[in-house]
Amino acid sequence: MKFTNRLGWRFVLAGGAAALAIHSYVTSQWASAQGVTRFAGPTSSQPLALSADGNVLAVVNPDNESVTIFDVEADRNVKIGDVHVGQEPNGVAVSPDGRRAWVANTVSGTVSAITVHRSGPHAGRVITNIPVGTEPYSVVPTPNGTKLYVANARSNNISVIDAATNRVIKTIDNVGFEPRGLAVTNDGDGDDDDETLLVTQFLSLPVAVGKLDGEDDSKVGLVTSISTGNDSITGTIILRPLANTGFLAAGDAIAKVAPPAAPQPADFRFQTGAYPNQMNNLVIRGRFAFLPNTGASPNGPTRFNVNTQALLNVVDINDGRDAGQTINMHLAVARQTNADKLFVTQPWAIAAKHRASEAYVVSAASNTVIKVNFNPANGAPTVPNNPSDATRVMQVGVGKNPRGIVINESVWGTPLSFSQRGARSWKHARARQQRTQKGR
C-alpha cells in the first residue's frame, strides 16, 4: 500500500470470540478549542473506541467481562492492561482527552464509568456502575464529550448520561424496536446541544399495508432521529427496499413458480429485491449517514446469491430521508473479473475517514474489510477495485469474526492489525493475502 501526504491511515478492528479479535488502523481526529480537546468528526458507537488525539484505545471483551486499554500514541501499540467491568460488555466510549471511558454491560444492565491510567500499575478502575435500561448494547459520546447516549436494546429506549456526574439525566422512550447503532453529528463548535443523534433499529418492520410477508419489499428499515438539545425524538427515517439486487432467481415463491431441479442459465429470469435488516451500526460523513446491513430477500428459492445481500443504505440527514443511493456490495464482488470471489457476508460495522470520501465496512462472516468510496454531493457509494490488482475489489482479509472498526488519522507509518494470536501489520496481511491468491 502506498501512503501519501505523510499520513498512514490506520484502521482498528475488534472482533469475535475473545478480548480483541482484529484491529487495523485508519482515523480518530482531534481538535482543541480553548484548551479543551474535542472530537473533530462525528462520533459513532463501536465495541472499541479511540480518544480524540488517537493516543488511547479501549476494546471491550464480552467473554471475560473486561475492557482492555492500549497506548497507541506514536505507533507504540502497547497494552496497558485490563479493567474488569460488568457482564457481557458490548460497547465502549472514550472521553476526548482519553482519561475516562464508559462501557455498556449488556447482561448487567449498567454502564461502567472508568478512569483510565496511562501510567502506573493499573490500566484504570471502575468509579461507578450506572444503572440504565434493559440490555444496553452500545454507547456514544457527544463531540465535546459532555453527554453519552446508551442504546438499551430490550427496553427500546435511550439513556442520556451526564459525563461530568455519571448520572442518567433523561430516558428517551419509544425510540423503536431494538435500538443498536448510534451516531452523533458534529458541527465543529463547543456546543453539544445543537447536534443530531441517529439510532438504528436492528430489525426491519413490516410495511403497513399492501404487502405479503415473504415479498422482497414487504419490510422497511427504520432510523430514529433525536435532537441533542432537548433529547427528544424529532422523526423516523424510513429505509426503502432495494428494488433490484442485481441477481436473478430461478423461481418465485410469491408467484408460486418453483425452480427446476437442475436450473440452467436461461431459468434465472426472476428479478430479486431486498429490504434492509440487521442494522447494527452506522457512520456519519458530511450530510449523509451510511448503514451497512444484511438485506433480506425472502422471495425466491434458496440460493447463495439470492436470499441475503450486503446492502449499504444512505440517509440524507438534512432532509431526514432515505437518500435513494443504496448499493448491494455483493454485486461489486460478483462483477470482479477475478474468479476467486468472497462475498461481503454479514456487513456489521463501518468507519469513515473525515478527510476523504472513503469508508471501510467490516464483513463479520467473511473475515474481511471492504473499502467504499462515496460522492460527497449526493452520498452515492461505490466499491473500488484494488489498486494493486484491478481484477479484485478493494477487500482485505483480517481476523476471525471482526465486529467493529475505528480509524486513526493521528498516526502515520505501517498499518498495524492485532489478532487473538498476536500482532501483525496491515501491510503484511495484504502481502500474505496476495501471495495466497497468486498461488491458487
pLDDT at residue 425, rounded to an integer: 31
Question: What pLDDT, on a 0 to 100 scale, did the predictor assign at position 154?
Answer: 97
Q: What is the pLDDT along the chain (440 residues), one digit of tens a residue?
A: 222 332 344 556 666 433 333 333 333 333 444 334 899 899 999 999 999 999 999 999 999 999 999 998 887 889 999 999 999 999 999 999 999 999 999 999 999 999 999 887 789 999 999 999 999 999 999 999 999 999 999 999 999 999 999 999 999 999 999 999 999 999 999 999 999 999 999 999 998 778 899 999 999 999 999 999 999 999 999 999 999 999 999 999 999 999 999 999 999 999 999 999 999 999 999 999 999 999 999 998 888 899 999 999 999 999 999 999 999 999 999 999 999 999 999 999 999 998 899 999 999 999 999 999 999 999 999 999 999 999 999 999 998 999 999 998 764 322 233 333 222 334 444 444 443 344 33
The SS3 call for residue 128 is strand
- What pLDDT, on a 0 to 100 scale, did the predictor assign at position 355? 86
The Cα 77–Cα 216 span in angstroms is 46
Residues 6+ away with beta carbon under 8 Å from 422: none
Does some domain include residue 4?
Answer: no
Within-domain flag for 334:
yes
2 occurs within a structural domain: no
Whether 38 is in a domain gets the answer yes
Q: Which domain holds residue 241?
A: 10-438
Specify the pTM.
Answer: 0.89
The confidence score (pLDDT) of residue 11 equals: 58
To which H or E segment does residue 335 belong?
helix 329-335
Q: Are 426 and 402 in contact (CB under 8 A)?
A: no
CATH code of the domain containing 207: 2.130.10.10
| Number of domains within the chain | 1
Cell numbers linked to 17: 470470540
Where are the alpha helices (H) located in 72-151, listed in sequence order?
none
* Confidence (pLDDT) at 76: 85
Specify if 124 maps to a domain: yes
**Is 5 inside a domain boundary?**
no
Q: For residue 69, what are the contacts with CB-CB under 8 A and spacing of at least 6?
A: 56, 57, 58, 79, 80, 81, 82, 83, 101, 116, 118, 123, 124
* Structural domain contains residue 159: yes
Residue 245 lies in a domain: yes
Percent of the chain scoring above 70 in pLDDT: 84
CA atoms within 13 A on the CB side of 7: 15
C-alpha distances out from residue 189 to 10, 184, 193, 407, Å: 26, 13, 10, 22
Query: What pLDDT, on the 0 to 100 scale, is given for residue 373?
Result: 97
Residue 432: count of CB within 10 angstroms of its CB: 12
The per-residue pLDDT for 152 is 98
Residue 271 has phi, psi (to 5 degrees) of -65, 140
Instruction: Give me the pLDDT at residue 14, please.
Output: 67
Distance of CA 396 to the CA centre of its chain: 17
